[in-house]
Structure 1
Amino acid sequence: MEQLPESVDRKILDRRNVQAIMEIVETTGCPLHQAIDVFSQRYEELRRDRPDDFKADPGEHSRGT
């Protein structure tokens, strides 16, 4: 995969998915459907490699209590 700016990772980690996808389109010049594929791949990599860096989902705080 093409190297993405750190700002894309930050948006993904902050759960700002639409903004992340739009930045992928802008920085790579790829069409939207391809940007969504790139986003999905990068999301999975970050989930695997940096799970603790993801911003908490508002509903996660009440789960399991």
Structure 2
Amino acid sequence: MEQLPESVDREILEHRIIPALVTIRETLGCTLHQALDVFAERYEELRDDRPDDFILSRDEYGRGFYS
């Protein structure tokens, strides 16, 4: 997979889901479904590597976001 810009990590950590998805789509030239998969994978990696950087719990993070 192509390297994602650092801004994607910042957007994920700041709970900015839509901007992260837009950046992923623009960078990888992929569909929304593919961007959601990439987002979910990167989210889990960040949760594992940097748990203290997340303000919201796993349950709270995606609340209200429907794709």
Give the TM-score normalised by structure 2: 0.77
Percent same amino acid among aligned pairs? 68
Q: Structure 1 regions of 5+ residues with no counterpart?
A: 61-65
Distance 2:9 2:48 in 1: 13
Distance 1:23 1:4 in 2: 8
Distance 2:49 2:2 in 1: 18
Structure exhibiting the larger radius of gyration computed from Cα positions: 1
Q: Structure 2 regions of 5+ residues with no counterpart?
A: 61-67
Give the TM-score normalised by structure 1: 0.79
- Which structure has the higher relative contact order (CA within 8 Å, separation 6+)? 1
Distance 1:42 1:33 in 2: 14
CA RMSD of aligned residues (A): 1.4
Tell me whether 1:20 sits opposite 2:35 in the alignment.
Answer: no
Instruction: Report how far residue 2 of structure 1 moved.
Output: 2.6
Distance 2:34 2:10 in 1: 20
Q: Which residue does the alignment assign to 1:63?
A: none
Instruction: Report how far residue 43 of structure 1 moved.
Output: 0.2
Q: Which residue does the alignment assign to 2:37?
A: 37
Instruction: Report how far residue 38 of structure 1 moved.
Output: 0.2
Question: How many positions carry a matched residue from both structures?
Answer: 57
